[in-house]
Amino acid sequence: VDIAVVDENGDDVPANTKGYLVIRNPWPGMLLTLWGDDEKYKKVYWSKYENCYYPGDYALKDEDGYLWLLGRADDVLKVAGHRIGTAELESCIVSHSDVAEAAVCGIPDDVKGEVIIAFAVLKQGVTGSTNLENELSEKIRKDIGAIATPKQIYFVSRLPKTRSGKIMRRLLKAIANNETIGDVSTLEDGAAVNEIQNAFDEIKKSIDETR
């Protein structure tokens, strides 16, 4: 299987450089179509790069030729021209000994295009604090780079998830941008949305009080 990591133009990127995963040659057992919708199959998997199958993943290839999947390309944040995978950032936050779960999303910014907002669920017995927020920010700067430092880290007791356990990042982004939350029929626990909304409201209130 001829797998490559390419940039927006379809050119191969250097080793250890983030890009888009593509497959250049067909292989046994590959997906041939979508049931009853050949056009959608071509549009989704074959339209981004000419003669390349594009599964929609963000990845990098190291100097030894090993591929590292960084998450879905539609989960990539674009901050000041830099592409940052949500999975990469969330893994960094969760690697801190006090964090059980994490989720990140982007919100529009006039200067950077997008800035990062992070949500962290702490382990039992751990309380969120300014010191812990600073520790997480410093860890992100060290492990990924300063450009990936969140504008704000919120500590919550749970994250909104579907019944299958997938974090609903679109809800986080909607709350952060004061947008309509939309359909939550697949949500596992509606209380998580209320808690995140309250966390945002408290932060905004404290900011307004200091102005």
Spell out a b/e string for 76-101, using b for 16 or more CB atoms within 10 Å of the CB, else e.
Answer: bbebeebbbbbbbbbebbeebebbeb
Q: Where are the beta strands (DSSP E) in the chain?
A: 3-6, 19-23, 57-61, 67-72, 76-79, 82-85, 99-109, 113-122, 152-156
In the chain the first and final C-alpha atoms are separated, in Å, by 58
Active-site residue flag, 183? no
Catalytic residue from among 37, 38, 62, 74:
74
Q: Return the structure tokens found at 52.
A: 């390349």
Chain centroid to CA 156: how far? Answer: 18
- Pinpoint the alpha helices (H) of the chain: 38-46, 86-94, 130-143, 169-176, 190-210
Q: Please give the positions annotated as active site.
A: 74
